[in-house]
Amino acid sequence: MLWEGLKLMGVGMTAVMIFLMLLIACIEWVKYFNRNFTALELQTQKSHRKSRDSPTKNEASPAVPVEVFAAAINAFEADNKSS
């Protein structure tokens, strides 16, 4: 009975080791096929980080300043009150 238990343990541990080795091989295989994508992704992240950290020279300014809108609203309200 002890001998059957040891055989079962050996078969079970061998199956686990084979499974883990296949899992590691699959992970390495995926890493190998994704190496170009990973390098491209790192390069893209670095360029985004550089562009985000650098000051923007062409900030979008409104076509019409806020003061012009305020003056137009005041003129409109004054015109409506006098009418």
- How confident is the model over 30-41, as pLDDT tens digits? 999 888 888 888
More confident residue, 4 or 49: 4
More confident residue, 56 or 8: 8
pLDDT of residue 10: 97
Phi, psi of 82 (to 5 degrees): -80, -20
pLDDT of residue 69: 84
3-state SS, the chain, equals CHHHHHHHHHHHHHHHHHHHHHHHHHHHHHHHHCHHHHHHHHHHHHHHHHHHHCCCCCCCCCCCCHHHHHHHHHHHHHHHHHC
Mean pLDDT of 46-53: 84
pLDDT of residue 55: 65
pLDDT of residue 62: 60
